[in-house]
């Protein structure tokens, strides 16, 4: 995978040539750019780092910490840590920023540096551009021998994170404990194995763990999609558990399987949480343009406003702040609850869903039946590096004169019975093609039709 530099951070595959992959040279230059930006911003010279279970984690972590120290920046290393744990640790420890060492749902050969500001939130678009310019300039100054930064190990932050979840005003600890739930977790051999079970234990929930190693040898494709979770689905057919839980390697995405092996899905994680939250605290809700219409339906049920943002956590957070949202997130299973912090967090997502189950007396299958039924198809098109995607999408827009369109992020076509969203990926050299309708057949039909038209357009001579 080519090295991708974006406001989301730096991502690529381990090994290969410098400048083309995430090599030691690229890690050092990227971290140095971040350190330079941090110093120039006037933030405290203290950075929190943490990593998921990938095999490259120890090497990437060592390079990251050493580079920051060489810039005169102190480092707190959380070791194995979820993305939301690192985000919250920045605030807990009063740091000037943070770096999460995880390529999220990508396979084990990938890694990434995800960059945080002093609020434990992903850096802004403007900050990202400034930082990338610093990296590209090669004009970075390092500290002298007497001014090197320190390195401190701190693995207590997970319990701090769990304590904050348990203290959340809408997490009904007593009701969950009384319900005596049983769950099955697919931890995909990463940090879900050390974060979800202790939360469950403190909530009085019995947790069976699948794929509990921390060796980063992912037991299956780590993205929490139905095709990748057949083991969890099969276990839920016979386990007698109340809930099947799937997380991605850095535990910021959450998906559920119901009793009997019923796929609830990542798109309905946010819907289920919003149903519970809005019942107790009405207010606006936010998701990105590629998320299910079911969230807008839940907002309408409670007489609340629904807002759509561009794809990307930083964009969702920006919109949530703008409209003072009560709850928000992304349809990929990312829950953002501003009472805790502005970051996708599977721990608070799970605690809120368990609270919903415990206080409603309904099973996850019954809750799913109570929501509008939509089916989503997620496809992709390999992106020609020479293609001007913006121009191509502009031409595509003109091919659908009668269809309602949104172009704040790629192109979304809203048909009467469904929608299709085309956009360039922030993490891979592809065009994502998402579609949703009342049936899988119709969603596939919409996605296939738009995809075929895009390919025909972009491959046409001249």
Domain match, 42 and 113 both: yes
Domain match, 85 and 214 both: no
Domain match, 134 and 170 both: no
Domain match, 86 and 219 both: no
Which pLDDT does position 462 carry in this prediction?
44
Tell me which residue of 253, 226, 209 sits closest to 84, measured CA to CA. Answer: 253
Structural domain ending residue among the three candidates 370, 403, 433: 370
* pTM of structure: 0.94
Structural domain ending residue among the three candidates 370, 390, 424: 370
Please give the chain's pLDDT, 462 residues, in tens: 568 887 678 999 999 999 889 999 999 999 999 999 999 999 999 999 999 999 999 999 999 999 999 999 999 999 999 999 999 999 999 999 999 999 998 999 999 999 999 999 999 989 988 998 988 888 899 999 999 999 999 989 999 999 999 999 999 999 999 999 999 999 999 999 999 999 999 999 999 999 999 988 999 999 998 899 999 999 999 999 999 999 999 999 999 999 999 999 899 999 999 999 999 999 999 999 999 999 999 999 999 999 999 998 999 999 999 999 999 999 989 999 999 999 999 999 999 999 999 999 999 999 999 999 999 998 999 988 888 999 999 999 999 999 999 999 999 999 999 999 999 987 678 999 999 999 999 999 999 999 999 999 888 554
Q: At what angle do helices 267-280 and 294-301 cross, to 10 degrees?
A: 10
Domain match, 253 and 278 both: yes
Domain match, 92 and 189 both: no
Which pLDDT does position 49 carry in this prediction?
98
Which pLDDT does position 425 carry in this prediction?
83
Total domain count for the chain?
Answer: 3
Candidate list 104, 290, 292, 355, residue with the active-site label:
104
Domain that holds residue 416: 375-459
Which pLDDT does position 460 carry in this prediction?
58
Domain match, 174 and 270 both: yes
Taking a C-beta distance cutoff of 8 angstroms, is the pair 345, 252 a contact? yes
Structural domain ending residue among the three candidates 347, 370, 393: 370
Domain match, 315 and 217 both: yes
The b/e string for 196-232 (b: 16+ C-beta within 10 A; e otherwise) is bbebbebbebebebbbbebebebbbebbbbeebbeeb
Domain match, 26 and 170 both: no
Q: How far apart are CA 72 and CA 233, in angstroms?
A: 49
Which pLDDT does position 24 carry in this prediction?
96
Q: Could you give the 3-state DSSP secondary structure of residue 1?
A: coil
Active site residue 134: no
Domain match, 64 and 138 both: yes
């Amino acid at each position: 995978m080519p090295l991708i530099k974006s406001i989301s951070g730096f991502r690529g595959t381990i090994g290969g040539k410098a400048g083309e992959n995430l090599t030691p040279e690229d890690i050092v230059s990227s971290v140095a750019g971040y350190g330079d930006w941090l110093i120039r911003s006037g933030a405290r010279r203290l950075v929190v780092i943490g990593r998921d279970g990938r095999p490259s984690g120890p090497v990437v972590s060592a390079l990251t910490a050493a580079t920051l120290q060489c810039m005169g920046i102190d480092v707190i290393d959380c070791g194995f840590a979820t993305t939301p744990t690192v985000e919250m640790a920045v605030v807990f420890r009063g740091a000037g920023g943070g770096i999460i060492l995880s390529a999220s749902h990508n396979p084990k050969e990938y890694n990434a540096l995800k960059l945080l500001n002093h609020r434990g939130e992903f850096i802004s678009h403007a900050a990202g551009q400034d930082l990338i310019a610093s990296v590209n300039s090669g004009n970075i100054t390092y500290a002298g021998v007497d001014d090197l930064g320190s390195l401190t190990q701190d693995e207590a932050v997970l319990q701090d994170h769990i304590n904050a979840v348990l203290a959340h005003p809408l997490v009904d600890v007593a009701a969950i404990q009384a319900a005596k739930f049983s769950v099955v977790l697919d931890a995909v051999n990463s940090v879900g194995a050390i974060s979800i079970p202790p939360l469950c234990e403190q909530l009085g929930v019995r947790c069976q763990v699948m794929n509990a190693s921390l060796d980063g040898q992912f037991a299956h494709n780590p993205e929490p999609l139905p095709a990748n979770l057949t083991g969890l689905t099969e276990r839920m057919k016979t386990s007698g558990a109340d809930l099947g839980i799937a997380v991605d390697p850095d535990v910021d995405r959450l998906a559920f399987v119901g009793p009997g092996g019923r796929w609830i899905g990542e798109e309905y994680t946010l819907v289920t949480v919003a149903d519970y939250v809005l019942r107790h605290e009405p207010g606006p809700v936010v998701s990105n343009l590629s998320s299910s219409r079911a969230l807008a339906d839940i907002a309408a049920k409670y007489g609340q406003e629904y807002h759509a943002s561009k794809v990307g956590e930083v964009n969702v957070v920006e919109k949530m702040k703008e409209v003072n949202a009560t709850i928000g997130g992304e349809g990929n299973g990312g829950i953002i609850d501003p009472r805790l912090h502005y970051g996708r967090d599977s721990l608070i997502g799970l605690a809120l869903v368990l609270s919903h189950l415990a206080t409603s007396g309904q099973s996850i299958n019954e809750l799913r039946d109570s929501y509008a039924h939509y089916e989503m198809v997620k496809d992709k098109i390999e992106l020609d590096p020479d293609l001007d995607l913006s121009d191509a999408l502009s031409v595509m827009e003109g091919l659908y004169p009668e269809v309602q369109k949104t172009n704040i992020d790629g192109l979304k076509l809203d048909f009467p019975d469904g929608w299709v969203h085309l956009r360039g990926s922030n993490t891979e050299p592809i065009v994502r093609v998402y579609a949703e309708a009342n049936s899988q057949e119709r969603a596939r039909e919409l996605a296939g039709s738009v995809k075929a038209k895009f390919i025909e357009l972009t491959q046409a001579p001249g």
